[in-house]
Amino acid sequence: MTDTLNQPGLQSLAKSFEPAPLEARWGPEWEQRGYGVAGFRGTGAPQADAPSFAIQLPPPNVTGTLHMGHAFNQTIMDSLTRYHRMSGANTVWVPGTDHAGIATQIVVERQLQAQGISRHDMGPTPAEARKNFVAKVWEWKEESGNTITTQMRRMGDSVDWSREYFTMNPKLSTVVTETFVRLYEQGLIYRGKRLVNWDPVLMSAVSDLEVESEEEDGFLWHIAYPLSDGSGSLTVATTRPETLLGDVAVMVHPEDERYTHLIGKTVKLPLCDRDIPVIADDYVDRAFGTGVVKVTPAHDTNDYAVGQRHSLPIIGVLTLQAAINENAPAKYQGMDRFVARKAVVADLEAAGLLVETKKHKLMVPRCARTGQVIEPMLTDQWFVAMQSKGNEKNTSGTSIADKAIAAVQSGEVKFVPENWVNTYNQWMNNIQDWCISRQLWWGHQIPAWYDEAGNVIVARNEAEAQAKAPGQTLVRDPDVLDTWYSSALVPFSTMGWPNQKEGATEDYNLYLPSTVLVTGYDIIF
The CATH number of the domain where 284 resides is what? 3.90.740.10
The pLDDT value given to residue 11: 56
According to the model, what pLDDT value does residue 64 have? 82
Cis peptide before 417 (omega within 30 of 0): yes
60 shares its domain with 97: yes
In this prediction, residue 451 carries a pLDDT of 96
Residue 144's pLDDT is: 84
Within-domain flag for 9 = no
- Do the beta carbons of residue 166 and residue 99 sit within 8 Å? yes
**Sequence-ordered list of residues with C-beta below 8 angstroms from that of 521, at least 6 positions apart, any chain:** 420, 423
Do 70 and 152 have their domain in common? yes
Contact (Cβ atoms closer than 8 angstroms) between residue 70 and residue 98: no
Tell whether 407 is covered by a domain.
Answer: no
Rounded to a whole number of angstroms, the CA Rg of the chain reads 28
CA distance 491 to 511: 9
What number of other Cβ atoms are within 10 A of residue 307's Cβ? 21
Mean pLDDT to the nearest integer, 486-491: 95
Predicted TM-score of the model (pTM) = 0.88
Quote the CA–CA distance of 185 and 187 in Å, as a whole number: 5
In three-state form (DSSP H/G/I as H, E/B as E, the rest C), the secondary structure along 130-144 is HHHHHHHHHHHHHHH
- Which residue type occupies 355? V
Which pLDDT value is given to residue 1? 46
* Region 121-139 average pLDDT: 95
pLDDT at residue 492 above 90? yes
Residue 12 lies in a domain: no
pLDDT band at 7 (very low <50, low <70, confident <90, very high): low
Instruction: Give the residues across from 293 on adjacent strands.
Output: 251
Q: Are residues 125 and 40 in the same domain?
A: yes
Tell me, yes or no, whether 471 and 515 share the same domain.
no
Q: DSSP of 312-371, one letter per residue?
A: ------B-TTSBB-TTS-GGGTT-BHHHHHHHHHHHHHHTT-EEEEEEEEEEEEEETTT-
Residue 469 inside a domain? The answer is yes
Give me the mean pLDDT over the 304-324 stretch.
96
Question: Which residues are paired to 249 by β-bridges?
Answer: 295
In the predicted structure, residue 9 carries a pLDDT above the cut 70: no
* Residue after which a domain boundary falls, among 338, 356, 372: 372
State whether 432 and 328 are in the same domain: no
What's residue 27's pLDDT?
Answer: 87
Nearest to 54 by CA among 519, 524, 521, 517: 517
User: Which segment of 1-15, 26-40, 204-218, 245-259 scores lowest on mean pLDDT?
Assistant: 1-15
Query: What residue type is assigned to position 139 of the chain?
Result: E
pLDDT digit string, tens, across residues 15-44? 788 888 888 888 888 988 888 999 988 888
Overall domain count for the chain: 3
Count of CB atoms within 10 A of residue 468's CB? 14
pLDDT at residue 203 above 80? yes
- Are both 278 and 227 inside the same structural domain? yes
431 plus 492 within the same structural domain: no
Residue 4 lies in a domain: no
* Cα-Cα-Cα-Cα dihedral sign, residues 463, 467, 472, 477: negative
Which position has the higher pLDDT, 165 or 4? Answer: 165
Does a cis peptide bond (omega within 30 degrees of 0) precede residue 51? no
Q: Is residue 477 part of a domain?
A: yes
- Residue-wise pLDDT tens digits, 140-183: 999 888 889 999 999 999 999 999 999 999 999 999 999 999 99
> Do residues 265 and 364 share a domain?
yes
By residue range, what is the domain housing residue 112?
27-182+485-524
Check whether residue 44 and residue 165 sit in a common domain: yes
* Three-class DSSP category at 107: helix
Spatial contact of 285 and 344, defined as CB atoms under 8 Å apart = no
Residue at 382: amino acid letter? W
DSSP 162: G
Share the mean pLDDT of the chain: 93
Q: Cis peptide leading into 498, omega within 30 of 0?
A: yes
The whole-angstrom separation of Cα 296 and Cα 298 is 6
pLDDT tens string 226-243: 999 999 999 999 999 999
Instruction: Name the residue among 89, 4, 124 with its Cα closest to residue 516.
Output: 89
Rounded average pLDDT over 428-444: 95
User: Cα–Cα distance between 242 and 235 in angstroms, integer?
Assistant: 16
Question: Crossing angle of helices 400-409/420-429, nearest 10°?
Answer: 160
pLDDT at 86 over 50: yes
Instruction: Please tell me which residue, 122 or 144, carries the higher pLDDT value.
Output: 122
293 located within any domain: yes
Query: Which pLDDT does position 337 carry in this prediction?
Result: 97
What number of residues does the chain have? Answer: 525
Residue 410 has pLDDT above 50, yes or no: yes
Tens digits of per-residue pLDDT, 54-66? 999 989 899 888 8
User: CA–CA separation, 480 vs 137, rounded Å?
Assistant: 15
Cα distance between residue 522 and residue 215, in whole Å: 21
**CA separation for the pair 162, 44 (Å, rounded):** 11
Q: Rounded to whole angstroms, how far apart are CA atoms 303 and 293?
A: 9
Answer for the pair 267, 225: CB distance below 8 angstroms, yes or no. yes
Q: Grade residue 323 by pLDDT with cuts at 50, 70 and 90.
A: very high
Task: Using the predicted structure, report yes or no on whether residue 199 has a pLDDT greater than 80.
Answer: yes
* 128: CATH: 3.40.50.620
Question: Which burial class, exposed, middle or buried, applies to 210 when counting CB atoms under 10 A from its CB (0-12, 13-18, 19+)?
Answer: buried
Instruction: Assess whether 464 and 515 both reside in one domain.
Output: no
Say yes or no: 303 and 355 in one domain: yes
- Transcribe 232-293 into DSSP letters: -EEEEEES-GGGGGG--EEEE-TT-TTTGGGTT-EEEPTTSS-EEEEEE-TT--TTSTTSEE
311/369: higher pLDDT: 311
Q: Does some domain include residue 468?
A: yes
Domain identity same for 326 and 226: yes
- Residue 182's Cβ-side half-sphere holds a number of Cα atoms within 13 Å equal to 9
